[in-house]
Amino acid sequence: MSKDGKHRWTGGTTVLVQIGDVLDRGEDEITILSLLAWLGKQARSKGGAVFQILGNHETMNVAGDFRYVAPGGFQEAEAFAEYCESDHGGNWDAAFELWHEASQELKKHQAVDFTGWLPMFNPIKMQKGVAARTKLLSPGGPLARQLADHGVVLKVNDWLFAHGGVLPHHVEYGLERMNREVSLWMKNINNRWGQPAQMPFIAVKGFDSIVWSRLYSKENFDRPQERIQACGILTAALSATNSRGLIVGHTPQTIGANSKCDGRIWRIDVGMSSGVLHALPEVLEIVDDKVRILSVAEEFRQEEEEPAEESTWNGKMEVQNYRS
């Protein structure tokens, strides 16, 4: 992104993948989603791409679970709803496209503070924020429909991406099927039997679902056998999807982004949100068969383990047989 604050895509044909959990991370959630969509639109015109993976906090919010929403998150939802009506006549698409800029202007010129704790002590204000968020994120709501355009799993070239982890039984169930069922649920579209689409448990609920699994992302395994078992399960999942490696988030890595299982799993959640570890940002970069970690603290840190090979992007994004 350009350094002049104009939110211009400068990545050319680069492919950017955001690994999930934008929601429940403070007061700029809709702003970040709007910015990612804006950058994605520009990237496509340059031959690049911006993809988002759904995390457990996205699916929790669509399910109505607001336990981890910051007060500023409710305030932003209310402010966005008011902006949508007053400036765009209720045109959600137009409001969402420009919100990444409009929200910052509101903060500057109207002294809107999404970070304050006042709503917690103002029941009426709090109720309005909850109502606005519920309307946006309930299945079929405008923000839920926007999230529904993203999957819980993505494959770019030889690499799989998921928030929690891909297990063999996920592959057996069908990765494409999971993406489709999550999308139908978020859009509140009836299934082929004419019944309202249900939340797909295997994708979004349970400790071993694709957005909740921490099998691969534990910083330290309790026993060597546990590591061997996890790497064996990973190998089976990668073999079944003809993939070289898997990239996950979900569990903050206090040591920074890192890999295990001979470079077949990369754990890239560093907890950079102020609501988590407030760590410095890090990015996993794959260029010309070389994998490295970029960080603010250092130009890059070469992974000590032998990196897995990676080809340059071939323009194909797939989940099993999916093509875009």
Return the active site residues. 57
**DSSP codes of every residue in 194-226:** SSBPPP-HHHHSSTTSTTT--TTT-SS-SSHHH
**Four-residue CA torsion sign, 145, 146, 147, 149:** positive
Closest CA to 271 of 262, 280, 263: 280
Whether the Cβ atoms of residue 284 and residue 268 lie closer than 8 Å to each other: yes
Q: Quote the CA–CA distance of 202 and 196 in Å, as a whole number.
A: 18
In 3D, which of 115, 118, 94 has the Cα closest to residue 28? 115
CA distance linking residue 308 with residue 318, whole number of Å: 20
Residue that has been written with the tokens 């099993």 in this structure: 320
CA distances from 157 to 313, 314, 318 (A): 6, 7, 8
Q: Which two tokens stand for residue 111?
A: 């002294």
Q: Which of 260, 171, 157, 274 is nearest to 215 (CA)?
A: 260
Q: Cα separations (Å) of 293 from 61, 64, 274, 308, 314?
A: 31, 35, 21, 13, 22
Beta-bridged to residue 159, according to DSSP, are 156, 245
* CA atoms within 13 A of residue 175's CA, in its CB half-sphere: 26
How many of the other CB atoms lie within 10 Å of CB of 280? Answer: 12
Contact at 8 Å (CB) between 88 and 34?
Answer: no
Measured CA to CA, the distance from residue 28 to residue 24 in angstroms comes to: 10
